[in-house]
Structures are given as C-alpha cells and as structure tokens.
Amino acid sequence: MPRVNRPTLLPFACVLGVGFAATFVEAQPLPPSAPTPSPAVLGGRETITTSPTGFSFGSYGRVGVASDLRGRTGRSTNIVAFGPRLQAPPYAELQFNYDARFASARWRAVTTIAMNENLFHFTGRFDGTFAVRNLYLEETGVGSDNLTLWVGSRMYRGDDVYLLNFWPMDSLNMVGAGARYTAGDHVVLQAAVGMNRLDDPYQLQTINVAPREGFGPQTAFLLDRPRVLGSAKATWYSVGRTAREGLKLSVYGEFHSMAAGVRQLNDAGTRIELPSDGGWVLGAQAGLYRGPSFINVFVRYAQGLGAYGDLDVPVTLASARTSSRSLDFRVAVSGNWERGAFALMFGGYFRYFRDADAGVFSRDALVEGAIAARPIVWFGNYVGIAAEVSYQHIVYNAIDPVTGNGALAGSVLRFAALPFVSPGGRGSYTRPHLQIIYAASLRDDGARRLYAPDDPAGFNSVEHFLGVGTEWWFNSSYL
C-alpha cells in the first residue's frame, strides 16, 4: 500500500506563532459617533443593548450577488470547515425583544427568526426556509442584581473569529436553562444545561407499526435519544469587565451525554443496539484589548461526542458503536488593530480531527487550517477600501485517488478587494456596509481533485468572484 505523506502546515504554525508573540500597539480613540466592541464581547459582532421597557428590534443580515466572470454565479471556493466568510451566502436574523420591570426585577423575552439564501427575487419561488434561532426569557434582579437566569431555546456563544465566521471555543444550540453571575467587577461565571435532538437516525427514528385497533399504520418512536448538554465558563478581567483596556482570561468546559437505544437498519426489521455515548470539551481563551483593538487566542480539545459539536453526529463509529475514540483539537487567533484612518483585522486556526473509526486511511481524519488578514484604509469617515488575503489548506489521512501516491490534500490562496461605504462611520466592526467585492481564488492541483470528476468547480485553477453585497447588525443578542 502506498505510503501517505502528510504535508506540513508550517505556514499556519508561523502565523499563529506571530499572533501569540504580537506586541500590542496603542490605538487612537475613535470619534464618539463610531461605536466600538465591548471589552466583555471582544471579537464579537454585537452587544446586548439595555432597553427601558416595551418592544425593541434587532437584526443581523448579509445579502449579495456575484458572477464568476464566465457566465455563472459566483460561488464559495472554501475547502476547509471554517473558511473565510468573504463569499458567504445570504443570511439574516430578525430579533424581537420585549423588556419589562417589576420592582427590582428586570426581564426580557427574546425571539430570533433566521432565513437562508433562498431569496424570492433570485429563485422566483416562495420556498424560503426559516428557523427559530432564539426563543427564551431571561431575568435579572430576583434575589441579586448580579445574577441573571434564562430558560428557553437559544444560541449560546462566546467570542468569534470574524473573518472566518466561526466560534472556536464555545458555541452551543440548546433548549434548556442557564445562569450568569458577576462576582464583583473582575469575575463572570456562566453555566447552562439543556438538550437538543437532531433529526438524524443516530438520535431519532420513527417506524410504522400495526395499530391495536382500527386500520392503517401508526407511527412509533423506535429511537428517541436527545443529547444532554452542559457547559460552564469562568472569565477573569484584570482591570474590570467594563474597562476599555485590559486582559481577560477564560476557561471553558462542556459535557455531552446520550442514552442507549435501538435502531432499525432496513425494512426487513433488522435492529441493532446502540450503547450510551458521551463526550466532553475543554477550552481556554486569552484576550488583550485596548479600545477597539484586541487580540484573542483560543485553545480547545474535544473527545467523543464533543468532537463533532452539538449540530452534528458521528459518521463512523468504533467497534463498540460509540464515538469515544474521536477527537478534535484546534488553536485559533482573532484580532483587530485600529489607528486613525488605518485598521487591520486578522484571524486564523489550525485543527486536527479524527473520527471514531480505528481504520488508518480515511477521509474522516484530517488536518486543516486557514489564515486571513484584512487591511483597511479610510478616506474620510464614511468611505474606505479593504484588501483581504487568505490561505487555506487541508490534508486528509487518505490516498489521493487520482495520483495513487501521497495524501489527498489541497490549498486555496485568495486575494480580494472591497471598496465600501459605511454610513455609521469608521471602525472595523461598524456596520452597515455597502460593498463591491472582487476576489480571485487560486486552487492548486490537489484542491481541484477534491471536487467530483464532473463538477465544473474543479476545472479551473483560478476562480473569479465579482459582485455587490451588504452586511449589518444592531441590537442582536449574544452572550
């Protein structure tokens, strides 16, 4: 059997090393009209606004259209799990809040509706897909002004890597309950517990059974095993959680558990037993910030079910039919620097993933990573231009089926220019934006072989993307 040579990911190690060793540069303060990220949500897009009483509205959204300059629509050229967001499809969230007070207690009901890229004006069909991303109530002030409780269905997240559009340490979707406690001005403690149950035969399977009375089959839940999720996080702020500069350190953990069950494999009624399964996650984050400038570094290790995240299930299992052997290790960095009319955003990650199957060669074991940098220049307060360069690489622990020699691997190098108008003024995270986007993605031979043989996306070594887009956010609820 040919030997699989694992190409090095030295570029990622170098860039992440620079991120760890970066010297923090003092930033000039922005004018009062330009909002900056809260130090409590560094690298995030939004902060929770305090409304008096009554209804309020918030939203996140992005919409755009592009051409590949060959007569087809412009498409994403990402080959890794968390590629640059530059070519992300349309997506929007509409958030509706109701705030009220009773004596010292304050509460808020949150409903967030999300929609995807099936836009009527592009498809001509009334078939847009909607999802309820948040549906919960939280209260503060019952017993203690330092304690906030919530119950419901919600996205439960920490800081993100904006340029790569992902949350490297804590990102859960659950129906449950949680609490946040501010212990003085320097420590914030958070905990949550809940469930989710994906519509997948690994967790849910219904079958038709003969009724005891009457005619026609009845539906029975043969397999019904929700995943129980628990998380805890502690964050320490060196100067105080409301200070505009300082250091913050976070430690984080997750627990995943799933009960045993029985699954039917075919119409003949063949059934197998699925044993109970579980997993866990441990992570840490260090953040240094001064005004709108910051750098965040994340480390995360996950085992078992935790390696797949909360919205995915194991593709392959070990001989014991559990995911205990699977693991996911990742290191990520995110940052922003602003000084006068200049800014620099950057982000990157390195990831090693292995599934539960003990087989040596598999496309379910891989090493991948991506890096991106976006320098920005402002011309006045409302117009600017950004350039973005990114590199992504993936190596599967499998033989290249075309060459028969070496590992299946690929790389994409992308250059982009984004002139924009920003009605809200200066700032890397100030939105809304109206953008013109041009990107050129350079695929190597390995990246082209990652596509199916007849997929036109694999024919071109250079892929163009020219279009217009917009992005906005305001009053959107993130924890």
pLDDT tens-digit series, residues 91-112: 999 999 999 998 889 999 999 9
Position 22, amino acid = A
Comparing 442 with 142, the larger pLDDT belongs to 442
Strand 433-443 and strand 407-421: the pairing is: antiparallel
Which residues 6+ apart lie within 8 Å of 227 measured at CB? 195, 196, 197, 198, 203, 256, 257, 258, 305, 310
Two tokens, residue 332: 């990520």
Confidence of residue 177 (pLDDT cuts 50, 70, 90): very high
Distance (Å) of CA 387 to CA 119, 295, 345, 372: 28, 20, 10, 10
pLDDT at residue 361 in the model = 66
- The b-or-e profile of 91-112 (16+ CB within 10 A means b, else e) is ebbbbebebeeeeeebbbbbbb
The Cα 322–Cα 276 span in angstroms is: 8
pLDDT at residue 477 in the model = 63
The Cα 64–Cα 438 span in angstroms is: 12
Two tokens, residue 225: 């095993």
HSE (side-chain half, CA atoms, 13 Å) at 374: 27
Beta strands, E only, 128-217: 130-140, 147-157, 171-183, 187-196, 204-209
Position 465, amino acid = F
CA 352 to chain CA centroid, nearest Å: 17
pLDDT in tens, 206-234: 888 888 887 878 888 889 999 999 999 99
Distance (Å) of CA 103 to CA 12, 106, 141, 142, 436: 54, 8, 9, 10, 50
pLDDT at residue 16 in the model = 42
Closest CA to 41 of 235, 186, 223: 235
* CATH class as words, domain 10-57+66-91+144-474: mainly beta
Is residue 135 within 8 A of residue 111, CB to CB? The reply is: yes
Two tokens, residue 314: 């194991």
Confidence of residue 320 (pLDDT cuts 50, 70, 90): low
Instruction: Check whether 476 has a pLDDT greater than 90.
Output: no
The Cα 163–Cα 471 span in angstroms is: 13
Read off the DSSP letter of residue 266: S
Instruction: Check whether 53 has a pLDDT greater than 70.
Output: yes
Beta bridge partners of 333: 297, 348
The Cα 43–Cα 38 span in angstroms is: 9
Beta bridge partners of 25: none
- Which range scores top for mean pLDDT: 132-136, 363-367, 404-408? 132-136
Beta bridge partners of 138: 108, 150
The Cα 346–Cα 20 span in angstroms is: 13
pLDDT at residue 51 in the model = 53
Two tokens, residue 321: 């039919």
- The SS3 of residue 124 is coil
The Cα 187–Cα 249 span in angstroms is: 10
pLDDT at residue 12 in the model = 43
Q: Whole-prediction pTM value?
A: 0.86
Comparing 37 with 258, the larger pLDDT belongs to 258
Backbone angles phi, psi at 96, to 5 degrees: -120, 125
pLDDT at residue 314 in the model = 84
CA 132 to chain CA centroid, nearest Å: 17
Q: What is the DSSP string of 332-356?
A: EEEEEEEETTEEEEEEEEEEEEE-S
Position 65, amino acid = V
Average pLDDT, integer, range 270-281: 91
Comparing 342 with 478, the larger pLDDT belongs to 342
Identify the burial level of 334 via C-beta atoms within 10 angstroms of its C-beta, where 0-12 means exposed, 13-18 middle and 19 or more buried: buried
Confidence of residue 318 (pLDDT cuts 50, 70, 90): low
Confidence of residue 281 (pLDDT cuts 50, 70, 90): very high
Average pLDDT, integer, range 414-429: 96
Is residue 30 within 8 A of residue 426, CB to CB? The reply is: yes
pLDDT at residue 111 in the model = 95
Which spans in 351-426 are helix H?
A: none
Percent of the chain at pLDDT > 90 equals: 64
Percent of the chain at pLDDT > 70 equals: 87
pLDDT at residue 367 in the model = 96
Average pLDDT, integer, range 162-171: 95
pLDDT at residue 369 in the model = 97
pLDDT in tens, 115-159: 988 898 998 988 888 999 999 999 998 888 899 999 999 999 999
Average pLDDT, integer, range 460-475: 95
Two tokens, residue 333: 């960095």
Indicate the range of 195-199, 240-244, 315-319, 363-367 predicted with least confidence. Answer: 315-319
Tokens 């500069």 -> residue = 245
What's the chain's average pLDDT? 86
Phi-psi label, residue 380: left if phi above 0, alpha if psi -120 to 50, beta otherwise: left
Distance (Å) of CA 349 to CA 16, 88, 119, 295: 8, 18, 32, 14
